[in-house]
Amino acid sequence: MSCPFQRCGGFARLRTVVAAFYDHVLDSDIAGPYFGDADMTALMHHQTRFIAEVMGGPAETGNQRLRAAHARLRIDRSAFDEVVGLLQQTLIDHELPAEDIDIILANIEARAPYIVSA
């Protein structure tokens, strides 16, 4: 049985989804300010690998790396929820199956303690 990563078309399609996702994030009054000075090319690369991981793909971020990458940002729960909601809408817009979206969001929620710090 294939995983959501394989069913979505792998890294090629996921890169397109992540680019659209960041268009929404950067437009958000809540989440956008967290990305003001970010290297978006590098960030999209890392985010693609992270989302691939939570979809059952080959990448591995690791929880301690998530904590280290996000600690200085002081991300609060409302910003985390905003980003997750924008990701959910982006996945819906790109017609991923609802069951796969549920898996992705559950795996991201499980990592909230490593991302949310404020």
Distance separating alpha carbons of residues 48 and 40, to the nearest angstrom = 12
- Domains of the chain: residue spans and CATH: 4-115 (1.10.490.10)
Distance separating alpha carbons of residues 109 and 111, to the nearest angstrom = 5
Positive or negative torsion for Cα 94, 116, 38, 43: negative
Positive or negative torsion for Cα 43, 10, 85, 19: positive
pLDDT band at 60 (very low <50, low <70, confident <90, very high): confident
The reported pTM is 0.92
**Residue-wise pLDDT tens digits, 97-108:** 999 999 999 999
